[in-house]
Structure 1
Amino acid sequence: MRKGWLVIVLAGLLVSLFGQESLRTLTPNYAPGQLIVQFRPELTPGERAMLRTLVNAQLFGYNDWLDFEYWQVSPYADVPALCAQLKRTGWVLQADPNYQLELAWEPNDPRWSQQDALRVIRCPLGWDYWRGDPNFIAGILDTGVLHTHPDLQTRLLNGWDFGNDDDDPSDPFGHGTFVTGIAGAVTNNGVGIAAVSPEGKILPIKVFTDGGQGYLNDLIDGISYAVSQGAHAINLSLGSNSAMPSVNTALQNAWNAGVVVVAAAGNNNNTSPFYPAYYPVCIAVAASNLDDTKSAQSSYGAWVEVAAPSGDAWSTTSSGGYARHTAGATSFAAPFVTAQALLLYPLVADSPTDRSVARAQVVRELIESTAMPVPGNYVAYGRIDVGASVLKALTVPVRGRITIAGYVGSYTSKEVEILVRPLNGSTTLASATGNADSTGNFDIGVFLEPNQLGYRDLAIRAQGTLTKRVPNVRMRYPGVSNLNLTLIPGDINGDNAIDDADLLAVLFAFGQTGARPEDINGDGAVDDADLLTVLFNFGQTGE
């Protein structure tokens, strides 16, 4: 009886997966037509062979130790969909495409091997998925920059010198050039060093005179200039022990325009306020060592949000070369965080012009919520983790509630599947599963590649139901909420159609009790109600 049931289940599967081979043109990230299958141990060799025959698969390899079979099907087949269907038959423990492996991306900059700070904050993990967008901008308000530095010039915008009121923000001191290199050195160019954000533009804004004097009016004008030039983040490696109410007003204006504000916490080795970092509008940054301890001079306290490892920082110098800073100044910790914001902003915004306080708040939340705890908790959130923040930005939460028509049982542990599709398309770009709570609420994170972010259609189903399409959903972090879906039950075998296979499944299990997929209405027994549900919905297909 089981063999007959399997033949019926997979007959429809073959049509849906292989009936339109010529239409599939996407380049997969797996070996075309190849999958790895692990059967349930009780299946006989004959049953395994029958399943391979039904999907027209050839066995090209076998792992004796793990009992994995390596299959080859049509190179045009939608292998992820086939794997999902195989797992729903109940005969297969695991089925996965034969995914391609890639080496972790590392830049070719000669000093990269010495930049331990970037490895501590797990930049390579983030870079494997995302390296930024050249159309997003970070403003560096400082002593200027060496425009001709070979490891900076292609990423620099023209900028402005407010200290001397001209268009030449050159750097006579080197402080601004060092800050700029941490945030925005040209990366993977075979020269010098790498930066936290390999892509993105740097807007140099000089707010000091060539004599080294800095005044509030120039800082305020520089902040306003950064906003007007489209900056998405600004770096303030400067400050004072005295309050700056007028600067706070300017920073609030920048924040309201959607600019992430990052400021050095100061080098006083105490918890006393340092401005403007002390203002809540700023992400205040302390300096850490490579072991996450506080640097000797860094300010600290509950008002300081995060730390960054300027206890060992390589960067660019105003002489055209490079230098290593090991004293742990917060001036050189802040640009790590500014660059992190520059890296993250394109993942949460629809375009460079999609700049708002809501977007800035999401970037800030990603930075703070993924920070790693530090010894002694000398900052509020911890030391930044660039890799974790990128992965979190790419994992889009989908939240809502399902109601299955006629279902009377508890939804606890009811599996919910989210399929992400192109607008008005049927190809599955990504998928994720999770469990509902007792009342049908679900919260499922869907991991997307950067080029899959944006407006998409969703197809959502629960175990035993057809898919329900939710059109034109913004799939970017912080995600989608308040989806309320009524789902049609009766698709027992998960092929997105209520047909003979589902009817036979109920008939074969009729009279049995307990938790079973054939118990469609969740009353604990496979009975007339389940049979009538299939008959009532017979012939329907998912959206």
Structure 2
Amino acid sequence: MLLTSNLSRSSLPARATVFALALAGAFAVPTAVAAQLEPGVNDYVRGRLLIEVKPGMSTESLDKLVKPHKGKSRKIGQSNLHIVELPANASETAILKQLQHRPEFKYAELDRIVESTLAVNDPYIGSAWHVNKIGASTAWDSSAGAGITIAILDSGIEASHPDLKANLVAGRNIYDNNADVSDICGHGTAVAGAAAASTNNGLGVAGIAGAAKIMPLRIAYWNTTYNNCYATYSSIAAGITYAADNGARIANASYARLAASSAVLSAARYMKSKGGLVFVSAGNANVDEKIVADPALVVVSSTTSSDTRSSFSSYGSAVSLAAPGSGIWTTTLSGKYASKNGTSFSSPVAAGVAAMMMAARPELSADTIQSLLYSTAVDLGSAGRDIYYGYGRVNAAAAVAAAKNYGVPGDSTAPTAAISAPLGSVTVSGAVAVNVSAADNVGVTRVELKANGTVVAVDNAAPYSFSWDSTGVANGMVNLVAVAYDAAGNAGSSTNVAVNVANVVAEPVPAPTTEPTVDTVKPVVTITNPVAGNVSGTLTISVSATDNRDVSGLRLQLLIDGVLRAYGNGGTLAWTWEAHKYVARAHTIKATAKDKAGNLTETTVIVNVVK
């Protein structure tokens, strides 16, 4: 039976008193499951909201918005997602209502609790029927996932298991902010085996991508009241972000109703922007979950050996793929094996197929892998995509062959872009919401917003929207242009939208003498993204600056390892960095700001590029 857990301060387990995100610094939060399940009422973490800010908005601006509610924000990794901690007596739902429609935010939501999707165990230890059913053994002739890392976001992994230890790489305990990834309930060990237990080692079982590496990320805690593992939207979103920043190409989270979370969807888009895919389970409630479909996630339902939907498998429009999930022989605790049921296992089976596809053609984009995964699936149920099987049951043999043989024709068609808001000639001030529509014959990879020729913000996922700080330019007419890019490097610019900036300017303090005042105050410059830590793929470097005089007079520069990469005038600067093209080592990002008087300030962030 599918359960959705609830949080209460009164039932806080001693071992779960701290949930700290390694990505953003440690902070204490209460997490536990209450005595009564009340979905939609108290099934969320007390004292916490999740907010994704629009590109262009600084951390300082977010802090000002949450300060009236006595909130404190924490950034998750290199993404734009923030966890906002609220005081113990705060009403999370009341504050959410005040914040969720602010134009500076892409969304705001409660941090809900989700349960692992393990169904009742089958007492019979069956054979690995699913391997041949999906054609995995045929696909192994071309690829077994070598060179690809699969992040298993779960209860941890038994590192000593003989069928897993050879494939393990360093992971992280996201929940407790430490390196302990030992399995607290056995679920993660079983999920990992379904995805990538070692093949050709003469032991136990064969994972679908048996040559892939496994990154254990513990995002769950054990609840003694219900004898089950639970996780939160925030821990899963943090885990996905960590996986993306640390070189994983696949992330699997076998927990229920994740497609309903804006935070999880945001993290999945972030991972997709770095060439990765996120797989989640459809759930085991045998109901229509009534969740809207979103291409950010691969939501997997479960099938039987006869290619019918498993009796426990949930369904709905969010389901995008089906995979075997009944009687899956996999790894368990104490170095053992067992047959398991649940969409917890259909999800990693499908994830393993994607890993094999990526290993066969590492250069293919995440969107291409996802498209081929769907187009090669065995159509079950109603013709085309349906609510029970999505695009069909995964077909490893056909999917790997399609990836291996895929040829990308030369793409010379530039994307199109248009600024839908604000309208031309309007008067604006402060934080300005800028909305952009962009399209391409293949796909848009990012949209840059320029103010008077300087890139001030970058958005990597639709819908493309920005929170532009107009105080960074001088009052008067400012030209806004949006530029859309595709994977081939083609660029398309919107028509120029000229707006009238009219910010209130403080009256200058009269000088005590008639002598001209000499400006000796240095500007303040900050690199808001990335933060120190690991980076991978493509990311946006964002710089903001303030000064005691006119911010529009600042000259900003961005350097990587001492080489000038971008520059511009005003209070903000953004640049898209293709970190994957740099050597895997530490790199120094430096930002400088110089005012009209020649006062110069610089700041640096050291990041480690991982492949």
TM-score (normalised: structure 2): 0.43
Greater C-alpha Rg: 1
Structure 1 or 2: more strand by fraction: 2
Structure 1 or 2: more helix by fraction: 1
TM-score (normalised: structure 1): 0.49
